[in-house]
């Protein structure tokens, strides 16, 4: 019979995308894999590592919700995380989950905290309650500190977070128009990204900030909804800049056609553009 361990990975982020606690995906994964190998379990991976995935609420974590859907399977014997804080920063939800898993015959293991419910141990249950409460307290304190820091930054006119489309941050952390763009060759789908030095004959410049302005002009003209605006932007040769998460080479960007969601996001961000 298969002995399956559901292994969960999560990263805490603040608003600028920095790993607050150094819980790298690679280190978490290696620790969980080693534990499963030592205890004879087959590994299934579930993770929330793309964007901000707070541990306070379960619903906002698609990877965790998929993991919970597997608890009914007879071959699933244990859920493993690096620490209690990786699975929950809400004491009540943590204890409810452990009870729910236990009802399906699934144990919970937190490697760093030494929590292992495979054995009926009242002391381990008490330790879990304490650690879950501490994780929730840490989350609340961090959230309060972040809100205070954001308030101070905004009072100074500074922007904290990923700059919205068409803008960048200057040295004073204030939003300014993005000078970047792409070369557009009329009558052709070929787009030259901003980092390409050679300019094709007959190509026209399509700046990102100009694309943002054009987006608002089209929306105000009432040509239709978000989808109609996106279609018109694409037909005029404008492109949307996609920001990829940091890697070893730093932040990367790529170009693609406008989508309905891109237009909606730009329009809904009007308070940021207005200052």
Whole-number Å distance between alpha carbons of 31 and 115: 15
The pLDDT value recorded for residue 228 is 94
3-state secondary structure of 257: coil
| pTM for the structure as a whole | 0.48
Residue 54: what pLDDT? 54
CA-closest candidate to residue 127, choices 140, 112, 142? 112
**Domain chopping of the chain, boundaries:** 4-154, 167-274
pLDDT for 18: 43
Sign of CA dihedral 193, 260, 178, 20: negative
pLDDT of residue 270: 84
* Cα distance between the two ends of the chain: 61
**The CATH number of domain 4-154, selected from 3.40.190.10, 3.40.50.1390, 3.30.450.40, 3.40.50.300:** 3.40.50.1390
Do 60 and 90 touch, CB atoms closer than 8 A?
A: no
Which pLDDT does position 264 carry in this prediction? 92
Task: Give residue 222's pLDDT.
Answer: 81
Please report which residue ranges of the chain form alpha helices under DSSP H.
25-39, 62-68, 84-87, 91-103, 122-155, 208-220, 226-235, 260-268, 270-274
Q: How many Cα atoms sit within 13 Å of 150 on the Cβ side?
A: 11
Average confidence (pLDDT) per 10 residues, the chain, 275 residues: 91 50 73 94 89 58 91 94 80 81 90 84 67 60 52 58 84 85 71 55 84 94 91 91 65 83 91 76
């Amino acid at each position: 019979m298969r002995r399956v361990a559901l292994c969960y990975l999560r990263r805490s982020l603040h608003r600028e995308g920095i790993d607050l606690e150094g819980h790298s995906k690679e280190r978490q994964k290696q620790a969980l894999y080693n534990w499963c190998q030592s205890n004879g379990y087959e590994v299934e991976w579930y993770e929330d590592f793309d964007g901000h995935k707070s541990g306070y609420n379960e619903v906002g974590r698609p990877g965790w919700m998929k993991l919970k859907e597997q608890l009914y399977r007879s071959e699933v014997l244990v859920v493993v995380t690096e620490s209690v804080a990786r699975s929950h920063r809400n004491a009540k939800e943590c204890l409810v989950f452990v009870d729910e898993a236990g009802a399906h015959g699934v144990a919970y293991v937190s490697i760093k905290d030494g929590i292992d419910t495979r054995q009926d141990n009242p002391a381990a249950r008490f330790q879990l309650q304490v650690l879950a409460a501490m994780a929730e307290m840490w989350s609340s304190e961090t959230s309060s500190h972040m809100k205070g820091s954001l308030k101070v930054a905004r009072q100074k006119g500074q922007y904290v977070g990923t700059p919205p489309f068409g803008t960048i941050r200057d040295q004073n952390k204030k939003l300014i128009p993005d000078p970047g763009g792409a070369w557009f060759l009329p009558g052709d789908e070929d787009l030259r990204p901003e980092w390409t030095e050679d300019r094709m004959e007959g190509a026209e410049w399509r700046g990102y900030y100009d694309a943002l302005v054009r987006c608002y002009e089209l929306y105000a003209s009432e040509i239709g909804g978000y989808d109609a605006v996106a279609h018109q932007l694409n037909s005029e040769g404008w492109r949307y800049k996609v920001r990829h998460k940091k890697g070893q080479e730093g932040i990367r960007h790529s170009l693609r056609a406008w989508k309905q969601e891109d237009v909606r996001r730009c329009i809904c961000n009007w308070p940021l553009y207005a200052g």
